[in-house]
Structure 1
Amino acid sequence: MASPLSKVAATIGKAMSGVFYPATLARDARAAGENDWTPGAITTTEHACKALPDTWSAYHVANGMVAANDARLLILASTIAVVPAVGDRVTVQGSTYTIVSDGGSAPAVETDPAQAVWVCRGRR
């Protein structure tokens, strides 16, 4: 039986697409080197998406869940083919944020039950 949430992400993506800004998620990958101690070249893959920069609540900051300078980045899941991860860089509205996991107890990336929106901890 299909999950009742299976079409919710697409519906939210369609409804919110005009509110979110065009963005790019950049992910670095290192190729294998010629031996164990020589690293290979780094290649960057960019993924277009829709994102919305936001701030964390005073509750999150005061309780040590995020660092005071962390941004809350919302990414519409229906607009991107990869799952955001620590180390990825998101550029939206001319600012670039790196997804981080340090400086608080909140996870670097989380989502809602329908997986409609990725919520990321970003740092400039």
Structure 2
Amino acid sequence: MGLLDGGLQAVFAGAFGPLFLDGTLHKVETTPDGEGGVIRTPTDTPIKGMVDRYSEAYRASAGIPETDARLIVLQHGVGAAPDTDSEITLRGARYRVMAVEQDPAQAAWTIRGRPV
């Protein structure tokens, strides 16, 4: 595994994990029920992350509401990536995932979160 193929996840987690907050990724896994429907199974995964703010200039240019927060979540040890059906709890607040970006080193996700 190359450094830009996810190899930096452990390095970033070791370096920054102690500085990041404990949190939870809340996902809902769906599987076919065999009768044309789906079974929805909630799963909670521990994460390491931080809550940040967008600059006013970036908010204005990207059309991001003032209520949304920028969440940085380390990927190391998190099986499935967050999606727009996911929620994240950090610093005692719960956020609905509005958008997810991944850095080139695949070490962290930058998530636009909206308070629930």
Aligned residue in 2 for 1:14 = 14
Distance 2:80 2:34 in 1: 28
Q: Please say if residues 50 and 79 of structure 1, whose CA atoms lie closer than 8 Å, have aligned partners that are also in contact.
A: no
User: Larger radius of gyration, structure 1 or 2?
Assistant: 1
Identify the structure with the greater strand proportion. Answer: 2
Query: Could you list the runs of 5+ residues in structure 2 that have no partner in the other structure?
Result: none
Could you give the per-residue CA deviations for residues 69-90 of structure 1, whole angstroms, max 9, x where no partner exists?
A: 1110110111312111112010
Amino acid at match of 1:88: S
| Gap regions ≥5 residues in structure 1 | 101-107
Count of paired positions: 114
Which residue of 2 is the match for residue 24 of structure 1?
24
Shift of 1:31: 4.8
1:62 alignment partner, SS class:
helix
Deviation at 1:112, TM superposition (A): 1.1
Q: Does 1:120 align with 2:111?
A: yes
Q: CA RMSD in A?
A: 2.0
- Tell me which residue corresponds to 2:71: 73
- TM-score, normalised to structure 2, is 0.84
Higher relative helix content: 2
Q: Which residue of 2 aligns with 1:109?
A: 100
What SS does structure 1 have at the residue aligned with 2:84?
coil
Partner of 2:48: 50
